[in-house]
Structure 1
Amino acid sequence: MRADPSRQRSLLELQTLDTTLAQLGHRQSTLPEHARLAELEAAVSATESTLLLARTEHEDVQRELRKADADVQLVRDRAERDRQRLQAGTGNAKDLQGIQHELESLARRQDVLEEAELEVMERAEAAEEQVRAAEQELATLTGEAEQVRAGRDAATADLTAQSARVAADRDRLVEVTGPDLVALYEKIRARSGSGAAPLVARRCGGCQLELHSVDLGRMRAADEDEVLRCEECGRILVRTEESGL
C-alpha cells in the first residue's frame, strides 16, 4: 500500500486520539463513585429490611401493649364496681364479705397485669428506638447515596463531553487520513491494540523490538509513500526524523 507521508504521520495522531478515548472510557467505567454507590445501595437495601422488621416488631408490641392495657383496665373497672357496691352496703354480710375477697383477688390480679404491662412497655420503647435508629441510618445512607450519585453523574457528563470532543477530532482526522489507510490501521488495531507506531532509533514503537538489518535495508530503499509494516507485530511503521534509516 502507498500513502502520502503526511497521511501516514496522521496515523500517529490518530493512535494518540484512540488511546485518549480508551483512557477516558476506562476512567468513566472505573470512577470511584461507582464502587461507593454500589456499597451504599447495598447498605440502603439492608437497612430497609432492618427497618421493615423493626416496624413489624414495633406494631406487634403495640398490639400486645394495647391488650395488656385493656386487661388492666378491665380489672380496674371490675374493682371499682365492687368498691361502689361495698361502700353502698347493699347485700347481706356474706355477699359483702365475698365482694371484699374479690377486691383482694382483683388487687393481686392487677399487680400481676400491671407488671406484665410494664414489661411490654419497656419492649415497646426498645422497639420504637430500633425503628428510630433504622430510620436515621436509612436517611443518612440515602443522603450520602444521592450525593455520590450526583458526583458520579457530573463526572460521567464531563468525561462524556471530553470523549465527544476527542471523537470529533478523530472523525476529522479520519477524513484527512483516508479510508484505505484507516481501514488497514483499524484492522491491525483490533488485533494488536494499536494500529500504528513510530519507527525510532531502528525500533518499532509498538513492540519495542529492534528491526533486523535486512528489514532496515528494505525500508531505506522503500519509496517515501510506501506504507511500512513491522515484521514482528504487524503494526504500520511511521517514519520519523529519529528513525535511524
Structure 2
Amino acid sequence: MKAEPRAQLRLLDLQKLDSTLQQLERQRTHLPVLARLAELAQQRSAAGDYLVRAQTAQSDVQWELAKSDADVQLVRDRAARDQARLDAGTGSAKDLQALQHELVSLARRQADLEEIELDVMERAERADEIVAEASGAVAALDEQIASATSERDQALAGLSAQVSEVGAPRQQLVDELPGDLLGLYEKLRADKGGVGAAMLHARRCLGCQLEVNAADLTAIRAAAADEVLRCEECRRILIRTPESGL
C-alpha cells in the first residue's frame, strides 16, 4: 500500500486523538462512583428486603394484638353482664351462686389474657422500633444513592464535554486520509486494542514496544517514503519520523 509521508504522519495525529478518546471512554466506564453506586444498590436491596420482612412481622403482631384485645374485651363484657345480673339479684339462689363462681373464673381468665396481651404489646412495640430503624436505614441509603447519582451524572457530563472537544477535529483528520489507509487503520485499531498505527521511535515500535531487528531495519531504510510499513511483530502500521533512528 502507498500513502504520502504527510498522510502517514497525519495518521499518527488521528491515532493520538483516538487514544485520548479511548481513555476518556474508559474513564466513563470506570468512574469510582459507579462501583460505589453498585455497592449502594446491593445494600439498598438488602435493606429493602429487611424492611419488608420487618413490616410483615409488624403486621402479624398487630393482628395478634388486635385479637388479644378482642379476647380480653370479650371476657370483660361477659363479666360485666354477669355482675349486672348478680347486682340485680334476679334469679334463684342457685343461679346467683353460679354467677359468682363464673365471675371468679372470668377474673382468672381475664388476668391470664391480660398477661398474654401485655407480652404481645411488648412485642408490638419492639416490632415498631425495628420497622422505624429499617425505614431509617432505607431512607439513608436512598439519600446516599441520590448523592452518588448526582456525582455520577456530573462526572459523565464533564467527560462528554471532553469527548466532544477532543473529538471535534477527528472528521477533518479522517477526510485528509486516503480511504485504503484509513480502512486498514480502522481494522487494525479494532483488532489491536485501539491502536492501529504506531511510531517507529529509536528503532522501537511504540505499538508493541519491541525493538526492530537489524534485518527489518535494513528493509525499512530501503523502503520508499510513500510505502506503508507494518511492524513485523504486532502488524500495526509503522510510521517513520525523524526520531525513528534510521
Please say whether Structure 1 and Structure 2 have the same fold, judged by a TM-score greater than 0.5.
yes
Tell me how far 1:52 sits from its aligned partner: 1.8
Instruction: Work out whether 1:184 is the aligned partner of 2:192.
Output: no
Instruction: Work out whether 1:209 is the aligned partner of 2:210.
Output: yes
CA distance in 2, matches of 1:138, 1:28: 28
Q: Which residue of 2 aligns with 1:57?
A: 57
Tell me how far 1:138 sits from its aligned partner: 1.2
Instruction: Work out whether 1:163 is the aligned partner of 2:200.
Output: no
Q: Which residue of 1 aligns with 2:245?
A: 244
Of residues 117-126 and 171-180 in structure 1, the stretch that sits farther from structure 2 once superposed is 171-180
CA distance in 2, matches of 1:75, 1:27: 72
TM, length-normalised to structure 1: 0.90
Q: Which residue of 2 aligns with 1:126?
A: 126
Tell me how far 1:113 sits from its aligned partner: 0.7
Does the C-alpha gap of structure 1 residues 105 and 177 become closer, same or farther in structure 2, counting only changes over 3 Å? same
Tell me how far 1:133 sits from its aligned partner: 1.5
Q: Residue 240 of structure 1 aligns to which amino acid in structure 2?
A: T
Q: Which residue of 2 aligns with 1:41?
A: 41
CA distance in 2, matches of 1:188, 1:138: 49
Q: Where has structure 1 moved over 6 Å in runs of 4 or more?
A: none
- For residues 7-51 of structure 1, give each alpha carbon's deviation from its aligned partner in whole angstroms, at most 9, with x where no partner exists: 111111111111112111111111222222222222222222222
Tell me how far 1:169 sits from its aligned partner: 2.1
Q: Which residue of 2 aligns with 1:95?
A: 95
TM, length-normalised to structure 2: 0.90
CA distance in 1, matches of 2:185, 2:91: 115
Q: Which residue of 2 aligns with 1:69?
A: 69
Of residues 212-221 and 12-21 in structure 1, the stretch that sits farther from structure 2 once superposed is 212-221
Number of corresponding residues = 245
Of residues 89-98 and 144-153 in structure 1, the stretch that sits farther from structure 2 once superposed is 89-98
SS of the residue 1:244 aligns to: coil
SS of the residue 1:224 aligns to: coil
Query: Identity of counterpart residues, as a percentage?
Result: 58
Tell me how far 1:224 sits from its aligned partner: 2.9
Unaligned runs of 5+ in 1: none
Does the C-alpha gap of structure 1 residues 100 and 242 become closer, same or farther in structure 2, counting only changes over 3 Å? same
Q: Residue 177 of structure 2 aligns to which amino acid in structure 1?
A: T
Q: Residue 42 of structure 1 aligns to which amino acid in structure 2?
A: Q
Tell me how far 1:200 sits from its aligned partner: 1.8
Q: Which residue of 1 aligns with 2:236?
A: 235
Q: Residue 173 of structure 2 aligns to which amino acid in structure 1?
A: L
What RMSD in Å do the two structures reach over aligned CA positions? 2.0
Unaligned runs of 5+ in 2: none
CA distance in 1, matches of 2:217, 2:109: 108
CA distance in 2, matches of 1:68, 1:46: 33
Of residues 19-28 and 37-46 in structure 1, the stretch that sits farther from structure 2 once superposed is 37-46
SS of the residue 2:169 aligns to: helix
